[in-house]
Amino acid sequence: MTNDDKENAEKCQIFECIKCNFKCSKKSNYNNHLSTRKHKMMTYNDVVEAEKPNYEKSIPISNPENNINKCICGKSYKYRQGLYVHKRKCVVSLETEENSCLTDKELVGLVLKQNKELMKQTQDINDKMMEIMKSGYNNTTNNNYNKTFNLNIFLNHECKDAMNIMDFVDSLKLQLSDLENVGKIGYVNGISDIIVKNLQALDITKRPVHCSDVKREVLYIKDDNQWEKEDRDKNKIRKAIKHIAHKNSKMVNEFKVKYPNCHQSQSKQSDQYLKILMESMGGPGDDGTINENKIIKNIAKEVIIDK
């Protein structure tokens, strides 16, 4: 074959790039095409797919329709570039994108509206809670005021002729049986019985002590012709308890007169006498303040004001 024949053969050969729909008769032109930006874009996916490991390569789908570049208007294109150019001018595609944006705006508007309604409902609930709290506070304040007002009326009007606390103490006429009872049931219960028994013997309006709150042991004492709320130390009622306990202990002499041999160990009253001596002085090893606290609690339960 001569050089002219080779040259004519090369001229008759066609070089074709199917991806880009490019044809030429010169290899040099074909090589130039392979380096163009268009060709690289059109064959980019093929290059990436070829470089993937076997387990990452996509598996072809048997249905050919899935490989068609199709517009929502129904038109199909062999290559994505053709579909891209078509979409820029397709009215159906543009309207769909616009409707999609409109739908997003409507969704955002709906969310904002719901948030606004939720905030309003929350504010309404808070306002109602504040009204309830204020109403409850006012009711509590009014109730406390009414209770205090009614208590003052009861003490200063209905109980205006009540005995003073120390006058009550001086008026007590203790019996030997009171002393014997203290020896039998103990100092706290025995002294409590003496005080409660003599208070209950009086009309409620004549009693020198009243309790408005058993749990907190809130006591009101009549002293020097005035009703006063006991302080934290409850000194007035403690003073009365001490004087009554002392009056009770003085009854020991009457017991000795009645039972002259009580101090002798062989006497039948010996054990009773020793028990009376111990309990009348406050009991074995008991703290005086603790005993007084117990007696005050017993008294408070019996002189509670029925509001």
The average pLDDT across 284-291 equals: 82
Length of the chain: 307
What is the predicted pLDDT for the residue at 48? 46
Chain mean pLDDT for the chain = 80
pLDDT tops 90 at residue 250? yes
Give the residue, 188 or 11, on which the prediction is more confident.
Answer: 188
Mean pLDDT of the 161-172 span: 96
Residue 60's pLDDT band, with cuts at 50, 70 and 90, is: very low
Residue 225: pLDDT band (50, 70, 90) is very high
Going from the C-alpha of 56 to that of each of 52, 59, 61, 66, 70, the distances in angstroms are: 6, 9, 15, 19, 25
Q: Is the pLDDT of residue 64 over 50?
A: no
pLDDT of residue 67: 45
Q: Which residue has the higher pLDDT, 12 or 262?
A: 262
Per-residue CA distances from 73 to 10, 131, 203 (Å): 45, 62, 104
Q: Check residue 198 and give its pLDDT.
A: 97
Q: How many CB atoms lie within 10 A of CB 62?
A: 6
Q: Which range, 18-22, 28-32, 108-112, 199-203, is most confident?
A: 199-203
Neighbours of 19 (CB within 10 A): 16
pLDDT band at 63; cut points 50, 70, 90: very low
- Percent of the chain surpassing pLDDT 70: 75
d(CA 154, CA 75): 100
pLDDT score of 27: 85
Residue 258 has pLDDT above 70, yes or no: yes
Encode pLDDT of 120-136 as tens digits.
888 888 887 777 776 66
Q: Dmax of the chain from CA atoms? A: 168
Which residue ranges make up each domain of the chain? 3-59, 90-158, 165-302
214: pLDDT strictly greater than 60: yes
Say whether pLDDT at 65 is over 70.
no
Between 91 and 243, name the one with better pLDDT: 243
Task: Please give the share of the chain, as a percent, with pLDDT higher than 90.
Answer: 43
Q: What is the pLDDT, as a whole number, of residue 71?
A: 74
* pLDDT tens column, 144-158: 545 565 888 899 999
